[in-house]
Structure 1
Amino acid sequence: MTTRKHAPVTAADVRSAALSLPDTAEKLAWGQPTFRVAGKIFASLGDDDTAMGVKCPKEDRAELIATEPEKFFLKEGHDDHYAWMRVRLAALEDAGELAAILTDAWRQVAPRRLLAAHPELELPEGG
């Protein structure tokens, strides 16, 4: 049985996936591209384009990091106080996983009116 290698997720993929979400804009902040909905940041690209930061509830971070430490991590001293975590792009399975992570982060900051206008982006029942 052969294992099929996936194409690595790139910073261009992050930009494309983030900007495909409704009412999303890119804005440079702290020298890095950030992606915002209604003026609120839900994702950013790191300095070297090997990782992205995403909005993530603090209570979910420990489990994600423990389950997949090669994929999820915190920038110590910076992310500790924020509902935010980092994702290594090379560890992502494919563009579908990237889209799912970005959509989840987008949902956390999107205004209710926008969520209501895009029910296709809601969490599945029980999710």
Structure 2
Amino acid sequence: MAVVDDMRALGAGLERSSPVYVRGRLKFRVGQMVYVAFSLDECVMGFAFPKEERAALVAGDPRTFQMPSESDLRFNWVHADLAALDPTEARELVVDAWRMVVPAKVARAYDLSHPTGPH
């Protein structure tokens, strides 16, 4: 089971990433682009994810993943039930979401310094 604290240190440690609180909700962003956000009760993690791949992700594991609200369908976004994710999978989702909002050279540098994946 993943928890917000697992993601807090990871998100704060990614290059160009910064934590912010918006109406009491923890979000991580690069510049003004939010790539991960948590629900107020910290049970749901919303994260950047390619629009063209999210239907398959949700269909493959609907207990864990859900489509965003109708108003957010235009964004590259999906939701996950943190209790259904293991911490390793959650960290991978956060790093993949971060990769979507940073320049490719920043993502490549991260990959070179973390050859076995996010810790």
- Give the TM-score taking structure 2 as reference length: 0.83
Higher-Rg member (1/2): 1
* 5+ residue gaps, structure 2: 115-119
Identical aligned residues as a percent: 30
Matched, 1:78 2:89: no
Q: Which residue of 1 aligns with 2:46?
A: 53
Q: Residues 17 and 98 of structure 1 are in contact (CA less than 8 Å); yes or no, is this contact kept in structure 2? A: no
Q: Give the aligned residue type for 1:37.
A: V
Q: How many aligned residue pairs are there?
A: 114
**Match runs of 1:111-122 below 5 Å:** 111-120=103-112
Which residue, out of 14, 29, 44, partners 1:21? Answer: 14
Report which stretch shifted further, 67-76 or 30-39: 30-39
Q: Distance in 1 between matches of 2:93 and 2:34?
A: 14
Equivalent position SS for 1:82: coil
Give the deviation of 1:119 after TM superposition: 3.4
Separation of aligned partners in 2, 1:118 and 1:9: 22
Partner residue, 1:40:
33
TM-score (norm 1): 0.79
RMSD of aligned C-alpha atoms?
Answer: 1.9
2:5 corresponds in structure 1 to: 12
Indicate if the aligned counterparts of 2:3 and 2:87 stay in contact, CA closer than 8 A. no
Q: Write out per-residue CA displacement over residues 17-63 of structure 1, whole angstroms, 9 at most, x where no aligned residue.
A: 22232221101224311101233211011121001110011111100
**Cα pair 1:32 1:46 within 8 Å, conserved:** yes
Structure 1 residue 112: Cα displacement: 3.0
Gaps of 5+ in 1: 1-7, 123-127
Q: Alignment partner of 1:109: what SS?
A: coil
